[in-house]
Amino acid sequence: MGTPVLILGDSGAGKSYSLRNFQPDECLLIQCIPKLLPFRSKGWRINGQPDADGVAQRGNVFRTDDWNEVQDKIQRMVLSKTRKVLIIDDFQVVMQHENMMRAYQTGYTKFTEMADHVWRIITAATQLPDDVRVYFLAHTEESEGKIRMKTAGKMLNEKLTPEGYFSIVLRAIKKDGKHVFLIKGDDNDTAKAPPDLFPDLSEMDNDLKAVDVAICDFMSDSLGATI
């Protein structure tokens, strides 16, 4: 099965910056909010954007906040011969924007449907081949004293606990002026990882490429195959 990974952090905590060491030909990026990449990004091109000659270019960056399109992009990863990494930034926007689009709908059914859409997206990532990794980057919120993924409100929280679908949840934070990934949190934090994935580490540099290499090594040992 594919490997979904959740990266949580406040705005400015370095989530997008953590992509800096990926090469554009090894990953696809879905931007749920159109924005500049916070690093020198030669080779990262927006798919469909006209070039200097007015021709729509093919690129590794897609821009959409529609849950159906996000799910479709995940499922299409099985067709890629070279790219085995898909990054979704910022994932919580998918449900927040759907919530705004349906703001005038009354009743509780829409919250169940939005929870179902998020569940479908995460499930699609788990159904990919073993060598595909999907990184979900999302903002955080504090709910009942616990830091968790930001959703579209309490009613959606009651219907879905996104962190429960991930074996790896890292939290991007700023510490002593540096951006780091928190690997192991306390009882009020959702950060978690298999003990042997990052042995003896409670935090690391916020380098998502380094995280990806560690996951591939871990999965190769676990599955007895090269990823």
Per-residue pLDDT tens digits for 46-73: 988 887 788 888 899 999 999 999 999 9
Per-residue pLDDT tens digits for 95-148: 889 889 988 988 888 888 888 999 999 999 999 999 999 999 999 988 777 888
Give yes or no for residue 10 having a pLDDT over 50: yes
Give yes or no for residue 6 having a pLDDT over 60: yes
CATH (domain of 93)? 3.40.50.300
Interval 160-189 mean pLDDT: 88
91 near 30, Cβ under 8 Å? no
Whole-model pTM: value is 0.92
Interval 192-213 mean pLDDT: 93
Tell me, what's the pLDDT at 222?
A: 65
Tell me, what's the pLDDT at 156?
A: 67
Give yes or no for residue 224 having a pLDDT over 60: no
Number of domains in the chain: 1
Cis check: omega of the bond before 90, within 30 degrees of 0 = yes
Band the pLDDT of 198: cuts 50, 70, 90: very high
Give yes or no for residue 91 having a pLDDT over 50: yes
Give yes or no for residue 86 having a pLDDT over 80: yes
Residues counted in the chain: 227
Band the pLDDT of 226: cuts 50, 70, 90: very low
| Residue pointed to by tokens 């924007």 | 97
Look up the domain containing 167 and give its range: 3-223
Tell me, what's the pLDDT at 125?
A: 96
DSSP per-residue letters across the chain: --EEEEEEE-TTSSTGGGGTTS-GGGEEEEESS----SS--TT--BTT-B-TTSPBPP-SEEE---HHHHHHHHHGGGG-SS--EEEEETTHHHHHHHHHHTTT--SSHHHHHHHHHHHHHHHHHHTS-TT-EEEEEE-EEEETTEEEE--S-HHHHHH--GGGG-SEEEEEEEETTEEEEE-S--TTB--B--TTTSTT-SEEES-HHHHHHHHHHHHHHHHTS--
Sequence letter at residue 128 = L
Residue predicted with more confidence, 73 or 200:
73
